[in-house]
Amino acid sequence: MTQALKSGGLRMTPQRLEIIREIAKAKDHPDADVILARVRERVPMLSRDTVYRTMDALVDAGLINKILMPRATRFDPDRLPHHHFICERCGKIVDIDADTVSPLPSVPRMLDGIGDVRAVHVHIQGVCHRCSEGHTQDQKRARS
Amino acid sequence: MTQALKSGGLRMTPQRLEIIREIAKAKDHPDADVILARVRERVPMLSRDTVYRTMDALVDAGLINKILMPRATRFDPDRLPHHHFICERCGKIVDIDADTVSPLPSVPRMLDGIGDVRAVHVHIQGVCHRCSEGHTQDQKRARS
DNA sequence: TTTTATGCAAAAGGTTTGCATCGTT
DNA sequence: AACGATGCAAACCTTTTGCATAAAA
């Protein structure tokens, strides 16, 4: 990941290194603030701006993906095609293997008369078991 | 649409009537501000708050859908299942018939061990022809 | 008459930006 | 040395909220 950044003319700094490590291993699709909190345990002086700027750089470099959510944008280091189950109560995002929902929508590279396709994201919206059973952890309150 | 609102215990007001008319006929997935501007041509005293509150009510009633986008939330009156092509340059959203991308992802009602499914949204991200040919109208500048 | 909706203004909250300084290359 | 990155603070923008008033039911 750090390699790909450098070849894009970007510089490697201690802050970026720690942020990259954190998002690379994250399995819960954290937002900028969560990443900030986690990295600050090691780098207390890290600023929120730097997190935003680094995430931007990583997205631009195609190394991570954005997931637009009601409260805040979240980030996904997994670039292999997969779907997302999104709980509308607690905001939890669960990766869904593309083969689970059979079959994967095969979108042509080019939609005639419309444009060319860069990526396909399938959002499966619902209510997770934990929430439907009442004990919503309110991981991070999700609006509407 | 107005019927469904009333049966939900909500009241019909001149503002709501005009807002509902506007979103019902909209084919371009407008955001709250665009709806405000359009309705104000007929109802100049309409406030932005009322648009937000009405859209919320319509979404809660299940009459329209939200589409989360970088700049602002957009709204879709078409409740029939379909996909969206989203231009990452100009932000244009084009409806894609579910049959065009063959086949439609058939997501089970219940994902074992995860939760139950309410809705599935397929976002096909790309660049529309107009933008790839250089004359981006910048319909509404889309960030990142 | 009771209760919900409207408008106004202010607040909230996530994200971006200007600027001086610091650190990579 | 040159230029990108960081931190701080302030700005931005969309969306939400408190409150008094107006208007549905």
So what's the pLDDT on residue B112? Answer: 82
Query: What are the C-alpha distances in Å from B60 to residues A70, A103, A113, B37, B120?
Result: 15, 30, 34, 23, 17
Average pLDDT over all residues of chain A: 88
Residue A127: enclosing H or E segment and its boundaries?
strand A115-128
Q: How many CB pairs under 8 A join A and B?
A: 124
Q: Are A12 and A5 spatial neighbours (Cβ–Cβ below 8 Å)?
A: yes
Other CB atoms closer than 10 Å to residue B23's CB: what's the count? Answer: 24
If you ran DSSP here, which 8-state letter would residue B49 be given? H
pLDDT tens for each residue of B66-96: 999 999 999 999 998 899 999 999 999 999 9
End-to-end CA distance of chain A: 35
Other CB atoms closer than 10 Å to residue B135's CB: what's the count? Answer: 10
Cross-chain CB nearest to A118 (options B60, B68, B125): B125
pTM: 0.91
Q: What's the whole-number mean pLDDT along residues A87-102?
A: 84
So what's the pLDDT on residue B15? Answer: 98
Q: Are A28 and A78 spatial neighbours (Cβ–Cβ below 8 Å)?
A: no
Nearest to B68 by CA among B90, B89, B91, B47: B91
Given a cut of 50, is residue A142 above it in pLDDT? no
Cross-chain CB nearest to B129 (options A102, A106, A115): A115
Lowest mean pLDDT among A99-103, A134-138, B17-21, B38-42: A99-103
Chain A CB contacts of B106 under 8 Å are: 101-103
Q: What's the whole-number mean pLDDT along residues A124-134?
A: 90
- Measured in degrees and rounded to the nearest 5, phi and psi for residue B74 equal -120, 165
At A143, is the pLDDT very low, low, confident or very high (cuts 50, 70, 90)? very low
Lowest mean pLDDT among A96-105, A133-142, B15-24, B122-131: A133-142
Answer whether B111 sits within 8 Å of A124, measured CB to CB: yes
Nearest to B104 by CA among A67, A120, A86: A120
- Packing angle of the helix pair B32-40, B48-60 (nearest 10 deg): 120
Q: What's the whole-number mean pLDDT along residues A67-81?
A: 95
β-bridge partners, A117: B126
At B7, is the pLDDT very low, low, confident or very high (cuts 50, 70, 90)? confident
Given a cut of 70, is residue B144 above it in pLDDT? no
So what's the pLDDT on residue B108? Answer: 74
Answer whether A144 sits within 8 Å of B60, measured CB to CB: yes
Q: Where are the alpha helices (DSSP H) in A41-103?
A: 48-60
Closest residue to D17 measured CA to C1′: B49
At A134, is the pLDDT very low, low, confident or very high (cuts 50, 70, 90)? confident
Task: Quote the distance between the C-alpha of residue B11 and its chain's center.
Answer: 22
Q: Where are the alpha helices (DSSP H) in A29-127?
A: 32-40, 48-60
Other CB atoms closer than 10 Å to residue B133's CB: what's the count? Answer: 9
The residue written with tokens 């708050």 in the block is B49
So what's the pLDDT on residue A5? Answer: 81
Closest residue to D8 measured CA to C1′: A47
Answer whether B87 sits within 8 Å of A115, measured CB to CB: yes
Is the CB of B134 inside 8 Å of chain A's CB atoms?
no
Cross-chain CB nearest to A121 (options B100, B111, B125): B125
Cis bond leading into A103, ω under 30°?
A: yes
